[in-house]
Amino acid sequence: MQRVFRSFKVRNFRLFITGQIVKLVGVWMLFVTQDWLVLELSGDSATALGLVTALQFAPVLLLTLYGGKLADRYDKRHVIMLANVFFAACSLSLGLLVAFGAVRLWHVFLFAALIGCVSAIENPTRQAFWSELVGPELMPNALSLGSATFNLARLVGPAVAGVLIASLGSGTVVLITAAMAVVAVVLQLRLRADELYRDFDRAPAKADTSIKGGLRYVQRRPDLMLIMALVLVIGMLGFNFQLTLAVLAKTVFRTGAEAFGVLTSALACGALGGALASTVRRGRPTVYVVLAAATAFATLETLLGLAPTFWLAITLALPTGFFMIYFMQAANQRIQLGVDPLFRGRVMALHVLVFFGTTPLGAPLVGWVSEEFGPRVGIWSGGLGSLVAALAIALIQVRRSKARVRVHLRPSPHVHLAEPASAEGPALELRVPTLR
């Protein structure tokens, strides 16, 4: 446990992650309350609910790269604080409209779009800011704890929102989320700037901080390009559980909302375990760690789609959630720990765009497949597509690095991978046991 939480010995990290826990729980509470408001104001319209979700994700496509540019050009702490202040102002305004009975459906749509804009700016900046809170040795641990914070908030936030909506009303819950964002700002104000791990106070006067400059940097880095391509495919095809699990539980296993909640919680608990398991990593993960995690996730998702019973589906959801986040953390850490600090904000913005920006493209495709061929097909086809992508990227990596793969049957069966030394590091040798 000391290894898992070793970043907490840094004062700035403790303050920032505490604020993030409070703020992110509030964000998930707001999302649930917002969806509830839409259903109440639209007469349970699924179309209106889909529209408000689209308004939340559309700014990711439009503004995330600009958010990365701001992160590389200005003080990341100030950008995050301003984003949280704007989030608090939006939540306060919407909460007052609901509390006084003046809210209309278009109000909810408007604030969903505004909060989506805030998230598009804050997400890449927050991802790049973790590196300034701790030193290089603790950075993998800090990144994993940040992911664990997100998954913990995803578990706690919706449950708290459901209780509070029933007892206090939607307007009060939205106002509470505004106060939670203010708490995060207060804690961020207490960060000591002189204790931040910064390679520079600001970008040099002649440094290229343009979006095109960041894209050119990634284009020159095949090690980053391969990981982002893998994240793009798996994010688009494999990470659609919010859609597929609901349909699977209701139409295939014929269960109610409570059972669906158990299935979703199993996936989230596994995800939290995967995030905590990633905290023990001390350095930049190799590309083969990322590929192995992606292969494990894709295989388990395929099996989950083929699960014949509800309880077997729950059993498979746990390791699926584990390797889902373990893969994402390995990919995130490989990118963050291998990027020039001058470009970190823009590179992480592209990473966020590649992952979250594919949701508006992948969700309708997986939804159509699930409706036409059944929810099982929607799940296992996404897993199978992710598996093909992982194997294809692995083949490209082996050819690019001129590695040699040999299968030994005696004296002990194993697969031997020998990769020659490169500019990225020394020679790599990997021995993987096989079944007798």
pLDDT tens digits, one per residue of 290-337? 999 999 999 999 999 899 888 899 899 999 999 998 999 899 889 988
For residue 355 the two structure tokens come to 């992952």
DSSP 8-state assignment for residue 45:
-
Q: Are residues 271 and 302 in the same domain?
A: yes
And the tokens for 236? 């688009």
Residue 229 placed within a domain: yes
Sorted by sequence, the CB contacts under 8 Å of residue 167 that are 6+ apart come out as none
Answer whether residue 200 is part of any domain: no
Let me know: does 263 contact 314? Beta carbons within 8 Å. yes
Out of 80-89, 326-335, 339-348, 353-362, pick the least confident.
353-362
Do residues 282 and 391 share a domain? yes
Contacts of 197 by beta carbon, 8 Å cutoff, 6+ apart: 131, 132, 133, 134, 135, 136
Give yes or no for a contact between 286 and 428, defined as CB atoms under 8 angstroms apart.
yes
- Measured CA to CA in angstroms, residue 69 lies from 87, 184, 185, 200, 293 at distances of 20, 23, 22, 16, 30
Indicate whether 179 and 287 sit together in one domain: no
Interhelix angle 105-133/76-99, rounded to 10 degrees, is 150
Task: Kindly state whether residues 346 and 230 are assigned to the same domain.
Answer: yes
What is the distance between the alpha carbons of residues 426 and 87, in angstroms, rounded to a whole number? 46
161 in a structural domain: yes
Q: What are phi and psi of 238, to 5 degrees?
A: -100, -20
Regarding whether 395 and 253 lie in a shared domain, the answer is yes
Domain co-membership, 152 together with 256: no
Task: With respect to residue 372, please indicate whether it lies within any of the assigned structural domains.
Answer: yes
In a domain, 205, yes or no: no
* CB atoms closer than 10 angstroms to residue 325: 28
Name the domain count of the chain: 3
- Decide if 31 contacts 92 (C-beta within 8 A): no
* E strand or H helix that includes residue 408: strand 404-408
In this structure, the answer to whether residues 295 and 181 fall within a common structural domain is no
Residues 426 and 384 in one domain: no
Please report where in the chains the tokens 């839409």 appear, as a residue.
38
Q: How many residues does the chain have?
A: 436
pLDDT digits (tens, 9 = 90+) for 179-236: 999 999 999 999 998 888 876 544 555 566 788 888 899 999 988 999 999 999 998 8
Strand partners, 422: 425
Q: How many CB atoms lie within 10 A of CB 242?
A: 12
Asked whether residue 156 falls in the same domain as residue 301, the answer is: no
Rg (CA), the chain: 22
* Same-domain pairing of 239 and 340: yes
Residue 370 sits in the same domain as residue 436: no
Has residue 1 been placed in a domain? no
Per-residue pLDDT at 304: 92
Tell me: pLDDT of 32 over 60: yes
Residue 203 lies in a domain: no
CA distance 265 to 253: 17
Residue 382 backbone dihedrals phi, psi, to 5 degrees: -65, -40
Torsion of CA 297, 302, 307, 308, to 10 degrees: 180
The H-assigned helical ranges of 238-357 are: 241-247, 257-277, 287-306, 310-336, 344-356
CA distance 180 to 172: 12
Query: Which tens digits make up the pLDDT trace of 368-402?
Result: 787 788 778 888 998 999 999 999 999 998 888 77
Q: Give the distance, in angstroms, between the CA of residue 102 and the centroid of all CA atoms in the same chain.
A: 35
Q: How far separated are the first and last CA of the chain, in Å rounded?
A: 36
User: Per-residue pLDDT for 270 more than 50?
Assistant: yes
Residue 422 placed within a domain:
yes
User: Residue 176: which pLDDT band, with cuts at 50, 70 and 90?
Assistant: very high
Strand pairing report for 414-419 and 404-408: antiparallel
Strand, coil or helix: 339: coil
Instruction: Kindly state the average pLDDT of the residues 68-93.
Output: 92
Report pLDDT for 426: 46
CB 36 within 8 A of CB 170: yes
The residues, ordered by sequence, that sit 6+ positions from 308 with a Cβ below 8 Å of its Cβ are none
With a cut of 90, say whether residue 152 has pLDDT above it.
no
Quote the strand ranges of 114-201, DSSP E.
Answer: none
State the DSSP string of 355-368. HHTTHHHHHHHHHH
pLDDT at position 351:
87
CATH (domain of 390): 1.20.1250.20
Is the pLDDT assigned to residue 414 strictly greater than 80?
no
Looking at the structure, do residues 17 and 129 belong to the same domain, yes or no? yes
Two tokens, residue 402? 């001129």
Structural domain boundaries enclosing 150 = 7-191
pTM given for the model? 0.76
In whole angstroms, give the CA distance from residue 54 to residue 47. Answer: 10
